[in-house]
Structure 1
Amino acid sequence: MPLFYPNLFLTTQFRNARSNSFSSILSAANNLVVLLRFLDSRGIDLEQRITNKTFFEVNELDDLRDFTQRKFFSKTVANSVSSMFSMDELEESIGFVESPTQYMRLTTIAEYVWWISHHLLSRPSATESKQIDRIRAHIKSRRPSRKGRNNVEDRSLDDVQLEALFEIIRVGSEFNPFTPEVQRRNRLVILLLYHLGIRGGELLNIKIEDIDFSKHQLKIVRRADEIDDPRINEPNAKTLERILPISETLIKELHDYVTKDRRKVPNANRNGFLFITYKAGPSVGQPLSKSGYNKLMRVVKAVSPQLFFLTGHKLRHTWNRKFSELMDDMDNPPSEAKQEQIRSYLMGWKPSSGSATHYNKRFRQEQANKAALALQKSSGTRLPKDLRNDE
């Protein structure tokens, strides 16, 4: 039988209340597994602790923090129960997770402890409510700093890398690593990611009906638990629904792909998803899977050393860089607040998320760095003799 309270928490707090995507719910479930491993290894009955109103000691919270830093062994679903690792083996040190992973683990654990405490105590007194809130705060206070989340490192592709990418995906190019029948499809995958800045999940979720060829528009739709989607690991739109404009050239490529390429694939008419599988076999004509999408990216980046770090998400960062440059080059650019509104809409972010502000700050720092270097190279800036490169 599934564990009752963890699954109830995921269903009511993540699936129903927030309409989180499958990947978000899976991530939260993995975080709860870490808590359950900790409780089991330490002999702690959380439900009994809550009922007795004893909760956690300070040293146990510190122990929990250290436990969430660990990188655990994992086993595939195909393995039998008898071959699973013991708890001692699971706790063996095989390294540590990155700070963002530990941050999310402790965040989920803090919310779960708070939720199950209120659930089991039903109507806690004012004192008990304060105690529950204090435990949640103590757990969250042990999370690592999130400094790395908003760093100004440029994760976009530069113009040289983009030139190499566009030559590789050009239909008929000698550098194109794909067979002729899938070159147009794969080119469109890259072009949509680059020109629209959409996420991979949004791309795989596009249906032909979402494209308005007459108005040159594409609608990004959230389709959680889509009945007609045969993919086990269903991709979802993580961001808000929105309508994006498409250039005349790109809409023509989409139209040619749908009317000339896609229709020739067996079973293509059995689903409405834009990108489908071409490989012969039982999956031919089915929607392109996440693994197929990731394989496409791996093949492209293997062609050129310049694209070694290529991912679909880097093209989203590239879109944001190009957007900043466009705004900066305008004679009368919109105000910064208006730019954030425009960027947030096109990216599918909530206006209050702060993501647009992050990109604006990054671009301002890049411009400041360029100005500072230009100032240092100007004739008015003299370096001490011992720092000059003069002969």
Structure 2
Amino acid sequence: MRIAIKKFKSGERYVFLLDDDGLPDFWVTHFVTQKLRTRKAATSIEQYLKSIKHLKTWESINGRDLLDEIYAGTVPNTHDINALKEHCAYQTKVFKQRPKADVVDMAAFYLSKTQDKPTVTKSQYVSRVAHIAEYLHFCGEERVKNKPAAAQLVDALAAMKKRLKSDMPRGRLKRQPQSLDKSGIADEVFEDFVAVAKINSKDNPFSNPVIKLRNYLIVQTLYETGFRRSELIALRISDIGTETDQPTLSVICRHNSKEDPRLDEPTAKTLSRTLPISKELRDLLNYYVRSCRSQTKSARTHPFVFVSHKDKIGSHESGQPIVKQTVNDVFNRIRKVNSERFWGITPHVYRHFFNDQLSSCIDEINATVKLEAMRLETEGKREEAKLYANDNIITEQRELEIRAELNGHSSLESGRIYLKRTLKKQTSEFRTKMYAKLKHKVEGGIYGR
């Protein structure tokens, strides 16, 4: 089985689960159409289908068809549910290219101590089980709704769904290799990465001048705005602000765009928003659009800013909108210039850098307000000082509101994750000050010579 995406004339991306014959699975397609299509983006639906595909793998291994069994009047029991949930804990690659004869005895498989059975993270496990529970519950009800015992089967299906979603783990299912913490990357590293990406940098790893310009604009835009990768490659020419003295870039939610030829449509994950940018960035973006993008073959067929160019000096061919992997490739090439220094730099990490700069600006504003309040208080203007501080101090609530506005968050709590890098930086500064105050320092003696 495989997952495929088709683009309709309306612009809608429809995600299918195809069987081994290349035909859409009927009940999965029915579930997508009736339950998901009107309220989920194509990327979210794809995650559902990956979970359902994992369920189909379990059915294939065990020679089962749960929907047929439900139609016959048998709802998965506690043993089935436990076995299915354990199956959901394992990564998909565990079951790939494995002869059926070797895995029919699932009890032996799960009890094996020597077999490599990597597990998924807690969040993926919980999502996978929830997706499967929704699918079985919805399709099960659809299949039994006209049967004489429909009422009892519907109750049993509700109980099955509840049991599937119960007892979700609070910690990780199994110790996973921890990803390296990138929250302590120094500001200078981010700055140096942009410096390498500049068009005239001697360390720039790209040779084609047009590609150099485009790639520099990709890095500089992320550096100035903290956009997500999908927001960057979804930018349209009309999203570049036309105000002469107040240059801006806008992120606009446009799902199921007819103009976008990409099946994996990049869409804004958060709310629409408009951010100020430097005049220099605005002017260079406009230059790229007028002088480079316009020379590509496909420039007139779509409105997207960043396009592909053939890696040949003087060539402006191709012109299709770039994809997410293109941005990854740009960062990978630049990172290799100094892999030891740039190891942690990714497109998304610049979103954290952007929010860290925001924290620094807020700290500076609050420090200035406090100094002015202190000055007023020393002059005996205590009430005036209090009012000034109350009116101008950026409280935590206000900071979260500002952060939500700039990041496009619908929930204020979403901004708290970006405070981690600031906390890491402050912790390091505090530790340096603490060490400076220590009475006893390390004495090298003969060992320090």
Normalising by structure 1, we get a TM-score of 0.82
The whole-number CA distance in structure 2 between the counterparts of 1:126 and 1:195 is 58
Equivalent in the alignment of 1:204: 233
Within 5 Å, give how 1:276-295 maps onto structure 2: 276-279=307-310, 284-295=318-329
Instruction: Report the alpha carbon displacement of residue 358 of structure 1 after superposing the two structures with TM.
Output: 3.1
1:16 has 2:74 as partner: no
The CA deviation string for residues 96-127 of structure 1, in whole angstroms up to 9 with x for no partner, is 24313323212211222332344334499887
Within 5 Å, give how 1:38-117 maps onto structure 2: 38-51=58-71, 54-73=74-93, 86-87=99-100, 95-99=117-121, 100-117=123-140
Equivalent in the alignment of 1:173: 201
The whole-number CA distance in structure 2 between the counterparts of 1:35 and 1:55 is 15
Alpha-carbon spacing, 1:49–1:230, altered in 2? closer, same or farther (3 Å) = same
The whole-number CA distance in structure 2 between the counterparts of 1:382 and 1:154 is 33
Instruction: Indicate the SS of the match to 1:302.
Output: helix
Equivalent in the alignment of 1:79: none
Normalising by structure 2, we get a TM-score of 0.72
Equivalent in the alignment of 2:269: 238
Equivalent in the alignment of 1:188: 217
Alpha-carbon spacing, 1:184–1:62, altered in 2? closer, same or farther (3 Å) = same
Equivalent in the alignment of 2:417: 358
Instruction: Report the alpha carbon displacement of residue 173 of structure 1 after superposing the two structures with TM.
Output: 0.8
| Aligned amino acid, residue 61 of structure 2 | S
Equivalent in the alignment of 1:342: 402
The whole-number CA distance in structure 2 between the counterparts of 1:358 and 1:275 is 29
Alpha-carbon spacing, 1:311–1:164, altered in 2? closer, same or farther (3 Å) = same
Instruction: Report the alpha carbon displacement of residue 240 of structure 1 after superposing the two structures with TM.
Output: 2.0
The whole-number CA distance in structure 2 between the counterparts of 1:75 and 1:66 is 13
Q: Is the 8 A contact 1:240 1:350 kept in 2?
A: yes
Alpha-carbon spacing, 1:192–1:122, altered in 2? closer, same or farther (3 Å) = farther
The whole-number CA distance in structure 1 between the counterparts of 2:184 and 2:31 is 37
The CA deviation string for residues 282-330 of structure 1, in whole angstroms up to 9 with x for no partner, is 9711111233222222211111112223321111122222222222232
Alpha-carbon spacing, 1:326–1:55, altered in 2? closer, same or farther (3 Å) = farther
Instruction: Indicate the SS of the match to 2:250.
Output: strand
The whole-number CA distance in structure 2 between the counterparts of 1:192 and 1:146 is 37
The whole-number CA distance in structure 1 between the counterparts of 2:154 and 2:251 is 42
Query: How big is the alpha-carbon RMSD for the aligned residues of Structure 1 and Structure 2?
Result: 3.5
Q: Is the 8 A contact 1:224 1:236 kept in 2?
A: yes
Instruction: Report the alpha carbon displacement of residue 202 of structure 1 after superposing the two structures with TM.
Output: 1.1
The whole-number CA distance in structure 2 between the counterparts of 1:134 and 1:292 is 46
Q: Is the 8 A contact 1:197 1:315 kept in 2?
A: yes
Equivalent in the alignment of 2:52: 32
1:373 has 2:373 as partner: no
Instruction: Return 201-210 or 235-244, whichever deviates more.
Output: 235-244
- Percent of pairs identical after alignment? 23
Q: Tell me, which stretches of 5 or more residues in structure 1 are unaligned?
A: 77-83
Instruction: Report the alpha carbon displacement of residue 223 of structure 1 after superposing the two structures with TM.
Output: 2.7
Alpha-carbon spacing, 1:75–1:34, altered in 2? closer, same or farther (3 Å) = closer
The whole-number CA distance in structure 1 between the counterparts of 2:398 and 2:274 is 18
Within 5 Å, give how 1:262-273 maps onto structure 2: 262-273=293-304
